């Protein structure tokens, strides 16, 4: 089965690392594909146009994918549009995983510091009105502002929260270290595992 994968990452510091990870994905089948490697000028142009235009651009990038792989560098966890890609991936039903890429060298042969797991910065909670997204900001959980609709419980591939206590997405998803866990050899299997966990 084709495994179309969306890669989410923080552009300015990590695009070189992300390209290296994507290009090392040599274990994929011939009919597998990756999405999310947009030309940075297209990304920046959409961002300058309006928030709505950028959201549409990112949603289209996630279309026709079954897995979203978050490539985590030092500050990826705090990036607004990475969070949006994660939320839209949950809504779509994609499998999700985090792959830490801080140990991958950039174009200047430099590595960076490991950052927090982006999937631990987004969560879900239940209210009388339904299930909603929350995000970690300023050392507390707040309602997620870029998607404010209730999430149908039946659309979730994992157990929905029972209370108004936020359950982090990382509770339901696996994470890996690209350098420390031989990502060049194993990333295809990690992606396939994430797809299987989501029933994709």
pTM here?
A: 0.90
Please compute Rg for the chain using Cα positions. 16
67-72 and 95-100 strand pairing: parallel
| Integer Cα distance of 9 and 18 in angstroms | 7
Instruction: Convert 140-177 to b/e letters by CB count within 10 Å (16 or more is b).
Output: ebeebeeeeeebeeeebeeebbeeeebbbbbebbebbb
Q: For 151, list phi and psi in degrees, rounded to 5.
A: -100, 120
Write the pLDDT tens digit of every residue in 42-82. Answer: 455 556 678 888 888 888 888 888 999 999 999 999 999 99
CATH topology of domain 4-116+170-197: Rossmann fold (3.40.50)
Write the pLDDT tens digit of every residue in 106-143. Answer: 999 999 999 999 999 999 999 999 999 999 999 999 99
């Amino acid at each position: 089965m084709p495994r179309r994968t969306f890669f989410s990452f923080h552009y300015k510091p990590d695009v070189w690392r992300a390209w290296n990870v994507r290009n090392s994905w040599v274990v994929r089948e011939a009919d597998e594909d990756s999405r999310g490697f947009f030309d940075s000028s297209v990304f920046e142009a959409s961002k300058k146009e309006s928030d709505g235009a950028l959201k549409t651009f990112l949603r289209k990038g996630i279309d026709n994918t079954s897995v979203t792989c978050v490539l985590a560098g030092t500050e990826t966890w705090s990036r607004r549009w990475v969070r949006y890609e994660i939320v839209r991936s949950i809504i779509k039903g994609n499998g999700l995983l985090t792959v830490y890429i801080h140990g991958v060298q950039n174009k200047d042969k430099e590595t960076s510091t490991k950052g927090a797991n982006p999937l631990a910065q987004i969560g879900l909670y239940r209210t009388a009105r339904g299930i909603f997204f929350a995000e970690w900001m300023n050392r507390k959980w707040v309602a997620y502002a870029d998607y404010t609709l209730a999430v149908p419980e039946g659309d979730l591939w994992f157990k929905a929260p029972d209370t108004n206590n936020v359950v982090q997405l990382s509770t339901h998803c696996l994470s890996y270290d690209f350098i420390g866990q031989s990502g060049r050899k194993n990333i295809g299997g990690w992606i396939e595992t994430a797809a299987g966990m989501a029933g994709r």
